[in-house]
Amino acid sequence: MNIILIGIQGSGKGTQAKLLCERYGWIHITTGELFREHIKNNTELGKIVRTFIERGELVPDKYVFKIVEKALREAERKFVLDGFPRNLSQTEFLVEKFTIDHVILLDLKDDLAMKRLLARRICNNCGRDYNVLFKKPEIAGKCDVCGGRLVKRKDDNETAIKKRIERFHLETNSVIDFFRKKGLLIKINADQTPQKIHSQIVDKIR
């Protein structure tokens, strides 16, 4: 089964992808994460994409296609894709080469996304994510797993979040429309507990 998860930042895409992969053994592919890996390893591609990412711009399609196609082929028809496609040409590229079974839209109002992102904390040691509203650590400010310090992501401030939310709508509306017309779109209310959202997804993709 090949699934795409679409949702505004803060809608819980990462959590839902994790739950689906645990349940079905699928592979979670996130383009942002693939790029960050390349940057960390200082690969040729990493050097090129870093400049775009640091400026907050989309990486040009030709580099995105390279990295995504390789990852999707390796997943052998069992992937949960997030962060891609982000525009119509990426969408066309994807559906030409791969079968997509379902596209899940985690629907969350902008003001709720803002509230959640402002409450998000990340462990500065292991990267695990928390939320001071609904996913609190056992000891305030400390990671449950490694004891690392919980910090805010640099781009989780009101101005940067607003920008990301605007960009999400600008980029992704055409992608949502494309899959809606194809009859592949499943819209789920993301203002529910992660477990409830997961059960609804499982019900719909059966």
- Site residues (vs ligand AMP, CB under 6 A): 31-32, 35, 52-53, 57-59, 64, 83-84, 86, 90
Q: Tell the smallest beta-carbon distance from residue 179 to ligand AMP (Å).
A: 15
Residue 18 falls in the annotated catalytic set = no
Give the separation between CA 69 and CA 126, rounded to whole angstroms: 28
Q: Tell the smallest beta-carbon distance from residue 56 to ligand AMP (Å).
A: 6
Q: Which is nearer to ligand AMP, 65 or 136 (CB)?
A: 65
Catalytic position from the list 23, 73, 97, 153: 153
Using a 10 angstrom Cβ sphere, with 0-12 exposed, 13-18 middle and 19 or more buried, the burial of residue 172 is: middle
DSSP 133: T
DSSP 77: S
Q: Which is nearer to ligand AMP, 35 or 179 (CB)?
A: 35
Residue 86 falls in the annotated catalytic set = yes
**Percentages of the chain per state (helix, strand, coil), in multiples of 5:** 50, 15, 35
Residue from 89, 71, 66, 82 nearest 3 by CA: 82
Residue 153 falls in the annotated catalytic set = yes
Q: Which is nearer to ligand AMP, 44 or 138 (CB)?
A: 44
The catalytic residue positions are: 13, 86, 120, 153, 164
